[in-house]
Amino acid sequence: MRELRKSTFREIKSSFGRFMAIFAIVALGVGFFAGLKVTRAGMTATVGQYLEKYAFYDYRLLSTVGFGQEEVDFLAGQDDIAAAEGSISFDVLYRADDGRQGAVKTFSITEQVNTLKLIAGRMPEKDNECLADKALFSEAGSTVWLSEDNDEEDLENFTYREYEIVGIVQSPLYLQYERGNTSIGTGRLDGYLYLMPGGFDVDYYTEVYVKFARDFELYSTEYSDYMDEKELLWEDLTREAAERRFYDIREEAGEELADARSEFEDKKAEGEEELADAARTLEDAERELADGEQALKDAREELADGEQTLKEKERELADAKALIREKEGELADAESVIAENEAELADANAVIAQKEQELADAEALMAEKEAELTEGERKLAEGRAEWDRQNGELETGKSQLAGGRQQLEAKRAELDGQRQQLEAALAAGMLAQGDYEAGMAAISQGEQQLAAAGAELDETEAQMAAGEAQLAAAWQQITENEQMLSEGRQAFLQGKQELEEGRRALADAERQLSEGWEALLKGKQEMEEGRQELAEGSKEVADGEKALADAERDLKEAGETLAEKESELADAQREYADGLKEYEDAQKEFDEKIGDAEQKIADAEQELADLEEPDTYVLGRDTNTGYVCFESDSKIVEGIANIFPVFFFLVAALVCITTMNRMVEEQRTQIGVLKALGYGEAAIMSKYMIYSGLAAVTGCVFGFFLGTWAFPEVIWFCYNIMYSADPIFYVFDWKLAVISLIVSLLCSIGTTWLSCRVELVQVAAALMRPKAPRVGKRVLLERLPFIWRRLSFLRKVSLRNIFRYKKRLFMMVVGISGCTALLVTGFGIMDSIADVATRQFQEIQTYDIGISLNEDADEALREEMEELKGSGAGKYTFVMEKNMDLVTAGGIKSIYLVAGTEAEMEPFLNLHTPGGEKIAYPALGEAVISNKLAEDYNIGIGDMITLRDEDMSTFTARVSAVYENYIYNYVHISEDTWREQTGEEPERKTVYLNLARQEGTEGGFTAHGLSAELMKLDEVLSVTVNADTMERIGNMMASLNIIVVVVILCAAGLAFIVLYNLTNINITERIREIATIKVLGFYKKETAAYVFRENIMLTALGMLLGLGLGYFLHRLVMNEIRVDLIAFHIYVKPVSYVYSALLTLVFGGLVNLFMGGKLESISMTESLKSVD
């Protein structure tokens, strides 16, 4: 046995390459299997320790009335409780000293539950100090202000309006980078702040966090069962605690209300007494004013009477003066008019004489024109009579011409009949040829006569046509002459009428001239009478002016006395008015205050009466987004671990079977010798089982420890981008180690045992003789002569060898196809995740910038947006984008709800199916959802979905389409659907904006430059450049490439090992054949070509099968990989198939190159010497 063991170790040393092949394939399989399997356990253990270290809650308790310290103590006193601690939290809009602004959730610092990990700085010591989210601020020292955009009610919850950041922390409440939704600002939280309890100006806790004393493994079934068991109990306890606070609040409010009512009645009585005293004082002053006003009224009436008399005298005197001035003006005007009329009458006499001469001349001209018209009418009548005569002659000629043509046609028809009769008679033999020719000559002569007659008729017809044209021209001339005579006659009659009118006008003018002279003489007489009356009136006016001056002097003295009395009365009235106003203002203020106080008390009494029992909520860890998402993501790794390692182990098992089977076949002679020497079957088997087992055990141990360390580290590094936790915890899984060892031993020792068992059934003599060569068989190609005959001898040999060794064919094709499939899957994963962001923001959400507006944004913003056009801003639209929850049977999912119109959304959003088919914008009552939502929650077209906002209000819509989307989860509806479902107008607080020119073009802003300009607008809350988002997501996806690279490297290593091992087996199996062809004189390259040609063919065949297998394996793996908020585009680029094929061929080439030395080292004499 000792010698046998030595032989075993010598065999390992002599065939170290084969030993290392088994070692490598087992190490790779175990490392991949154990590494991926333990990764999920390591991830959950790491997060579990992190959550336990910082006392992550088990229950979060909420009530609509909050909790007091008594209620917290009551809850903390329950059984199986490690800690229960109240917490204060409010959402608030903030503004940082670097200009950033947004929404944050503020918490009070807790000491026992949800404790914080201090990253930088120190803990707060003053109430105006705070701790900040590490994702929001990178270092301490900054200051945050509570934004002026907050409602006053929100600001009242805080003691201060600014807080100094003294430390940067990491909270167990936020495992994930997602910070959640809110009902303020943009609807999305940017981060969180932790304040001292004194930083809040409230006397109650908004929530209570409970931590149980028992510890469970993270995401374990035991924990779920324990929490289900406790749920009903803690719902009752929470309700009891809330009711305690409710009754305390109601009792305290009742006492405060009674005190307020008593104080109100006392204040009301005091005010009424003070108002009554003021009213009595005002009544006395009013009586004194009435007496003074009556005396002043009498004096004012006397003065008014005097003023009235004086005014009447002044008015009479003024009227007299005005009348005199009027008469003087009339006399002057009359004299001027008379002089003008005399001159006009003289001019009129001259004009009338001139008109009489013009009328005489016109009458002579009219007589001459009338004679000319009479002569023209006579000549026209003669021309019409001549035209009628000639037209009659022409009509007669037309009739004769028509008759001649009819006779001509009749004669021509007669000649045709005669010709036909002659021809018929000649044909019948009834007529001699001479008679026929004579008859035909006569007919020809008749036709010539007819032709001459026809020519005469044509000539006559042409003459008649010319005559018709002449008659038409003559008729046109006659018509024109008639028109001219008619117009002349009309003009003559009009002139004659105008002449008569001129005569009548001249007669009227002569009559008016005569009447003018008579009126002129009468006016001169009236003017003299007026001069006499004017002189008498002037004397009366002078007497009245003297009397009026005396009356004015007396009235002035009476007025001065009255003014003094009025001034005294006005002062008294002012004092009274001031007192009255003070009284009325006091009465009004009193009534308002009394009314307000009574209303407040009534409202408080009504609120107290309407106060309802509080609502309570008991929320477990499964409502924490980061906790749930991490469970999902860790299960993804577990899902991948269920696919890839199995594939690796299958290939490894095939390689081990092939390797050990070939090794046993090679050493069958030695087995026969050992059996002949008396060694038992177990002893002989032990040699080969130790060989394979040692390789498997060492490979298993090496692969297990390397895989369980490397794979978790790499994958955790990738996931650490999305999650906040400690460095990954190394987990040693004994059960997994044992399984890995057992599987490794089964793949090695088990296959070795089977191979040895087959050989050991034979006797020693048979084993010591070499196996007879396999019988050659015809291959399929030999039955295709048109192909087989064109192949060279060596290629025929290679094809026969390929199909001769079917086991090697199967092993090599399966191994190579498996490796190629792994390469395709690795590259496919990279393809599926690489261009997600590019597809999202260049093919779906095609706008360049997203703008979130504050609550004060109005139509004035549109004008400011228009001003930015020409400076980089292009088209834009206002939409409603709101965070809501999608409620399904499979769970609740946070989504973005977008409401707009088709016309407005078209330039900024391209809705299409994953196949590229255009999707219509949703109509009334319809919704279009992203494909990830449809897949994750099994939602199909036609299904009803329920959406819920932060106020727990819900509405439903029917899914009309599912569109391609990769980043975040969206539901699109029309604005009409929002109005119908909620009864409200959509709040369009989001703007989609396109750049007018590409970034960096001359004369316009870049995307970031335009973003800075937009942030200067008061209405803008935040600006998101899609190019930045695309870059961030691209970087995040790039981290997953590390996993892909690991997969590709492992697949490459597997491919190399498989090719090396199978090629090595092929060479060893055919060593005598190779030695023979070397003896036959084959050169080195020819020998290599002869051997490796089969490898190349099998590699190509396995590669082709692997490309198809890789397609399905890639889809299987991608269906297991799911990242929250991101959907992957599951496809493999054509170039990835090319890369996979090329790598497979390269590995095959490297193996062939590497194995070329082994071919060269084959000894021809040793290989060919007889074994007998």
Instruction: Give φ, ψ of 212 to 5 degrees.
Output: -80, 160
Q: What are the beta bridge partners of residue 882?
A: 897
Share of the chain above pLDDT 70, in %: 77
DSSP 8-state secondary structure symbol assigned to residue 58: S
Secondary structure tally for the chain: helices H, strands E: 27, 20
Q: What is the rounded distance in angstroms from the CA atom of residue 539 to the CA atom of residue 532? A: 12
Query: What pLDDT score was predicted for residue 102?
Result: 87
Query: What pLDDT score was predicted for residue 608?
Result: 62
Q: What is the rounded distance in angstroms from the CA atom of residue 335 to the CA atom of residue 929? A: 102
Short-list 244, 179, 236, 219, CA closest to 61: 236
Query: What pLDDT score was predicted for residue 1051?
Result: 74
Query: What pLDDT score was predicted for residue 893?
Result: 83
Query: What pLDDT score was predicted for residue 1001?
Result: 42
Strand order through the sheet with 616-620: 81-87, 205-212, 59-67, 616-620
Q: Alpha carbon 521 to chain centroid distance?
A: 101
> DSSP letter string over 1037-1067?
HHHHHHHHHHHHHHHHHHHHHHHHHHHHHHH
Query: What pLDDT score was predicted for residue 573?
Result: 65
Tokens for 358, please give them. Answer: 């013009």
Short-list 118, 130, 116, CA closest to 174: 116
DSSP 8-state secondary structure symbol assigned to residue 623: G
> DSSP letter string over 418-429?
HHHHHHHHHHHT
Q: What are the beta bridge partners of residue 892?
A: 887
Q: What are the beta bridge partners of residue 1025?
A: 849
Residues lower than pLDDT 50 in the chain: 998-1004, 1170, 1172
CB-count burial class (<10 Å; 0-12, 13-18, 19+) for 750: buried
Share of the chain above pLDDT 90, in %: 13
Rounded-to-10 torsion of CA 413, 419, 421, 426: -170
Q: What is the rounded distance in angstroms from the CA atom of residue 40 to the CA atom of residue 47? A: 11
Vertex 334, ends 333 and 340: CA angle to 5°?
90
Instruction: Give φ, ψ of 984 to 5 degrees.
Output: -125, 160
The pLDDT tens digits of the residues spanning 457-470 come to: 778 778 777 777 77
The pLDDT tens digits of the residues spanning 813-846 come to: 887 888 888 888 888 888 887 777 888 888 888 8
As a three-state string, the secondary structure of 245-288 is HHHHHHHHHHHHHHHHHHHHHHHHHHHHHHHHHHHHHHHHHHHH
The pLDDT tens digits of the residues spanning 41-86 come to: 888 888 888 899 999 999 999 988 889 999 999 999 988 899 999 9
The answer to whether the CB of 102 falls within 8 A of the CB of 164 is no
Tokens for 879, please give them. Answer: 């939409």
Q: Alpha carbon 1136 to chain centroid distance?
A: 32
Q: How far is CA 221 from CA 40, 225, 227, 298, in A?
A: 16, 6, 10, 108
Tokens for 197, please give them. Answer: 């309890």
Residue 558 region, left (φ>0) first, then alpha (ψ -120 to 50), else beta? alpha
Give the burial string for 128-141 (b: 16+ CB within 10 Å, else e).
bbbbbbbebbeebe
Q: How far is CA 448 from CA 285, 451, 474, 484, 847, in A?
A: 148, 5, 39, 54, 96
The answer to whether the CB of 946 falls within 8 A of the CB of 914 is no
Instruction: Give φ, ψ of 722 to 5 degrees.
Output: -100, -20
Q: Are strands 89-96 and 143-146 parallel, antiparallel or unpaired?
A: antiparallel
Query: What pLDDT score was predicted for residue 999?
Result: 43
Tokens for 496, please give them. Answer: 């004659």
The answer to whether the CB of 169 falls within 8 A of the CB of 193 is no
| In the block, residue with structure tokens 């109509």 | 923
Tokens for 486, please give them. Answer: 């008619």
Domain boundaries, the chain: 1-50+651-771, 55-215, 246-610, 840-1026
> DSSP letter string over 675-740?
HHTT--HHHHHHHHHHHHHHHHHHHHHHHHHHHHHHHHHHHHHHHTTTB--PSPPP---HHHHHHH
Mean pLDDT of the chain: 78
